[in-house]
Structure 1
Amino acid sequence: MSELPTNRRARLLEHLPRAQRERLSHIDFKLYFLGELRRADVVDRFETGPAGATRDIALYRDIAPENLEFDGATKTYRPSETFVPLFEHAPQRVLTALSQGFGEGIGDQLQPMIRCEIPAALTLPKMSVLAPITRAINRSKAVRLGYTSVETGHTERVIVPLALVDIGLRWHVRAYCRLRQEFRDFVFTRMDNPEVIEDSQVQREESPDQDVQWSRIIELDLVPHPSHKRPEIIAMDYPMVDGVMKVKVRAANAGYMLRRWSVDCSPNHRLEGLEYALWLRDPLALYGASNAQLAPGYEAPKGRDKSRPIKAM
């Protein structure tokens, strides 16, 4: 069969049922990233049965006949030399699938699809703590819990969770604290006995649009560190345009992210070491961010208060 024009392919895919598009995307993924596809791959992943898997592969071949070749000896499909993926595969999802599996198995049975090594998680929330928080976010409810903080030790709190945040080293939840009457970050591992308050009502001042730090988006201009011996390599490592990578982050997360990325945020790029591959070209972009002090080398503008406490640390 001759190759279909790209726009016709897109129209065909768009009008297919979602479940079928997911199966075709999986076929595309297997060919693209693993270099082989068997009928059993579709059967095992979606439990469609051999006949259903055969139909899905036949449909994929109808849409993109030039994408795969059949090896009769091993009964395996392989990508052709002219293979072009039918779907856009998001890098983060691809890496997650390759390193942790693509939905196969349950619980601790998940296995990487190829040999991978990822950093060990030193701290993860208990599911009995996470579940009430996520239910409250989804249903716009308040949560009663015990919380141990650096500032006050253990206290009883009522919070209105807004969003989950992964800062690389840990997970926390952004929430309105009724005790402090402000939005703060609450670390999951410091919570105990969270309970959704079923009859709770979220007040106007507790709603997400009232969290200024969460709503404010900061644009950061990151450039190769001036003291780096090979700035051209840094430009290769990061998606830079004309030597600058523009990153947008929430003010509530800016300090966490810059620390995670080891960005030198000092005004005179004074931090030394190969870990500081990037420099924040305009440190004033962080002015007003509640956790700017976490950014490596950050200095508050002269005459400004440098002692503002960092919440949830």
Structure 2
Amino acid sequence: MTQSASPPNRALLELPQVQRERLSHIDFKLYFLGELRRTDVADRFGTGPAAATRDIAQYKELAPENLVLDNTDKIYRPTANFVPLFDHAPQRVLTALSRGFGEGIGEELKPMVRCEFPMALSEPKMSILAPITRAIHRNKAVRVSYTSIESGRSEREIVPIALVNNGIRWHVRAYDRRRKGFRDFVFTRMENPVLLEDSPITDEEKVDQDVQWNRIIELELVPHPAHPRPEVVMMDYGMPDGVLSVKVRAANAGYMLRRSAIDCSPDHSLSGPEYALWLKDPLALYGANNAQLAPGYRNPRDDSENKPIKAL
């Protein structure tokens, strides 16, 4: 099977969104699971068998070479010439395969294929998460008890602007009214968040004023010079030219580089099998507040080794 989607179909683009969602689900089932039943559509969207039959017929009209009915068990299967009708985003596909694709709720969600992924050791409580996401959506401030490594427990008023997953834990990017600046606040260190309905947001507290959040850094990653098989690294990261260009917010750069074990030392001096990539130009991180989190990073303004970054 080919990996790229077919060119956008004009008739497909003119369909209502709900109809495209049903056709996308048909495309997904055929492409990634290799089979489709009428009940797959009817159960997923709560439609009757007749409506599911119409959806499959419409899909076949748009992509007649994509599926064939196996009369032995009345299951549609992809043909050898199958070309996906939709451009399926890899992260969404992997989430669907490992977590389920909208079938069931709560603990009923089940993976579509056998899979394994890292256990989450730190997850936010929903009673903490919900007020924060409401604040982001409605542009409100929150009063919260927060325990930081540096100063212990204190009452804070923060203005949340975005959720961030650094690969190990979730935190919220927010304006801290006490410190008068934007900071990262870890969910598991929060207690008793209260939405402040009558506390207006000032201009300095808005997301467009967060320089670190709005600054985009472009990083060029290359196979680590000490790696015994650079061609394998190039295959792993899809870099036929030997360079992987990544754009990341300055506020998240250190987290990303640490999670991915990128050697950011100027002389690629870190050793070990975990260091498959090297940051070609460590100066690209200059000015990023959490650059010290990047493995091996040395501030060009310092003659000595950097001190560890202070956590909130």
Q: TM-score, normalised by structure 2?
A: 0.95
Residue of structure 1 in register with 2:23 after alignment:
24
Structure 1 residue 187 and structure 2 residue 186: aligned?
yes
Query: 2: distance between equivalents of 1:303 and 1:93?
Result: 42
Residue type of the partner of 2:310? I
In structure 1, give the amino acid aligned to 2:238. Answer: P
The 8 Å contact of residues 293 and 309 in structure 2, kept in 1 or not, is answered as: no
Distance 1:158 1:221, change over 3 A: same
Q: Which residue of 1 aligns with 2:96?
A: 97
Q: Deviations over 1:141-168 (max 9, x none)?
A: 0000100000111000000001000001
Shift of 1:309: 4.3
- Aligned residue pair count: 306
Q: CA deviation at 1:59?
A: 0.6
Q: Where does residue 150 of structure 1 map in the other structure?
A: 149
Task: Specify the alignment match of 1:265 in structure 2.
Answer: 264
Kept in 2, the 8 Å contact 1:129–1:193? The answer is yes
Matching residue of 2:246: 247
Aligned to 1:253, what secondary structure does the other structure show?
helix
Q: Tell me the residue number matched to 1:301.
A: 300
Equivalence for 1:280: 279
Map of 1:196-275 to 2, 5 A cutoff?
A: 196-275=195-274
| Secondary structure in 2 matching 1:87 | coil
Contact 1:144 1:194 in 2 (8 A): yes
Let me know the Cα RMSD of the aligned residues: 1.4
Q: C-alpha separation between the residues in 2 aligned to 1:253 and 1:310? A: 15
Work out whether residues 224 and 275 of structure 2, in 8 Å CA contact, stay in contact via their aligned partners in 1.
yes
The alpha-carbon deviation at position 73 of structure 1 amounts to 1.5
Tell me if the contact between 1:35 and 1:78 (Cα under 8 Å) persists in the aligned partners. Answer: yes
**Cα separation, 1, equivalents of 2:71 and 2:206:** 60
Superposed, 1:2-151 pairs within 5 Å as 10-151=9-150
Written as runs of structure 1 = structure 2, the 5 A alignment for 1:169-180 is 169-180=168-179
What is the distance in 1 between the residues matched to 2:80 and 2:302? 63
State whether residues 158 and 177 of structure 2, in contact with CA within 8 Å, keep that contact through their aligned partners in structure 1: yes
Distance across 2 between alignment mates of 1:208 and 1:308: 27
How far apart are the structure 2 equivalents of 1:129 and 1:120? 21
Quote the Cα distance in structure 2 between the aligned partners of 1:193 and 1:39. Answer: 47
Q: Percent identity?
A: 68
Alpha-carbon separation, structure 1, partners of 2:274 and 2:49:
51
Query: Gapped runs of 5+ residues in structure 2?
Result: 1-5
Tell me, yes or no, if the aligned pair for 1:290 and 1:310 is still in contact at 8 Å: no
How far apart are 1:186 and its partner, in Å?
A: 0.1
| Native 8 Å contact 2:31 2:78 kept in 1 | yes
User: Which whole-Å deviations, capped at 9, do the CAs of 1:42-73 have from their partners, x for residues lacking one?
Assistant: 01100111111010001111111111110111
Contact 1:160 / 1:206 at 8 angstroms: preserved in 2?
yes
Contact 1:184 1:311 (C-alpha < 8 Å) held by counterparts = no
Q: CA deviation at 1:311?
A: 4.1
TM-score by length of 1: 0.95
Q: Is the 8 A contact 2:150 2:310 kept in 1?
A: no
Instruction: Give ranges in structure 1 of 5+ residues lacking alignment.
Output: 1-5
Kindly provide the CA deviation profile for residues 241-260 of structure 1, in whole angstroms up to 9, marking residues without a partner as x.
52110001011000000000
Q: Which runs of 4+ in 1 moved over 6 A?
A: none
Cα deviations by residue, 1:180-219 (Å, 9 ceiling, x for unpaired): 1110000000000001101121111111111111111111
